[in-house]
Chain A
């Protein structure tokens, strides 16, 4: 399972992950320690939140709680980007297409993440690459989502 895979990865990086009551917050990252909200029900959503917090471990420096600062928002976006590229990688989109997956629901199921996360990831790729991205002999369209193989 994706969530467990990420937990093992966190463990290898010596990051402590705690599932605990943190009110309305979904996740927290503090100096190599991650708190995930106990009340998150599905494993797919847990995986998504955990991936973002791992993204903070890999990309964030400093206290970025105050998101009204542009610099902090930038770091937040970078951490999320790390999570998107980790869980919804471009190669996994190609792979999914080869498996005959055609809609967002099936894709979420296939990758083990929430549909909202897929939506955000696609939006992130669109902001980053534009409407499509060429990868080897494939072209990935982000809107509508689809993969074409070049002849």
Chain B
């Protein structure tokens, strides 16, 4: 849940709820409601602000699949081997074994869903890379359509024109 995620990450950053309230400009009462999952519909502006102050990807707080995936990829690389519980002769034994890449990622995802603060275990440059990737993903347009004559597929030249236009719009937005 969003509220739990905010609380876990905030505690991991050793920040009091008072301080977070001051830094984000969101009232203490509202933040408390948010952390206790009482405030159900916070605006994206507020969530963005909180994520920015806590230095985590917004998607991590929101449980956004693609962002969790991205972090799990990085985090999974750090999971070398683990003790897998297996049933032998009716008894549970822990067998030490190597994991495949997919298993690593799945396990990392499981961990992350429960403990979003694991994000801070990553080295700083990796964290920044993930934050950067999220920012770029938000910039990418969501709805896009081209007018081409029937039955004709987009050529490389067309794609270039489309990307030019997207860049043009982004530069307009930033001004």
What class of interface size applies to chain B in its complex with A?
20 to 34
Which of B141, B153, B162 is in CB contact (< 8 Å) with A25?
B162
Which of A21, A24, A30, A52 is in CB contact (< 8 Å) with B141?
A30
Shortest Cβ gap from A33 to chain B (Å): 5
Residues of B within 8 A of A30 (CB): 141, 143-144, 162, 165-166, 169
Residues 37 to 67 of chain A near chain B (Cβ within 8 Å): 49, 52-53, 56, 60-65, 67
The answer to whether B157 and A29 touch across the interface, beta carbons within 8 angstroms, is: no
Residues of B within 8 A of A (CB): 141-149, 153-155, 157-158, 160-162, 164-166, 168-169, 172
Residues of A within 8 A of B (CB): 16, 18, 20-31, 33, 35, 49, 52-53, 56, 60-65, 67-68, 75-76, 79
Name which residue of chain B comes closest to A53, CB basis: B147
The answer to whether B148 and A26 touch across the interface, beta carbons within 8 angstroms, is: yes
CA distance A79 to B158 in the complex (A): 20
Residues of A within 8 A of B142 (CB): 31, 61-63
With A25-B158, A26-B148: A31-B165 Cβ-Cβ less than 8 Å = no
CA distance A87 to B148 in the complex (A): 19
The answer to whether B162 and A20 touch across the interface, beta carbons within 8 angstroms, is: no
Which of B158, B169, B172 is in CB contact (< 8 Å) with A23?
B158
Which of A20, A61, A63, A79 is in CB contact (< 8 Å) with B165?
A20
Name which residue of chain B comes closest to A64, CB basis: B145
Residues of B within 8 A of A29 (CB): 143-146
CA distance A20 to B161 in the complex (A): 10
Q: A31-B141, A67-B148 are in contact. List 6 more A-B contacts (CB 8 A).
A: A22-B164, A28-B145, A29-B145, A30-B141, A63-B142, A67-B153
Residues of A within 8 A of B165 (CB): 18, 20, 22, 28, 30, 33, 35
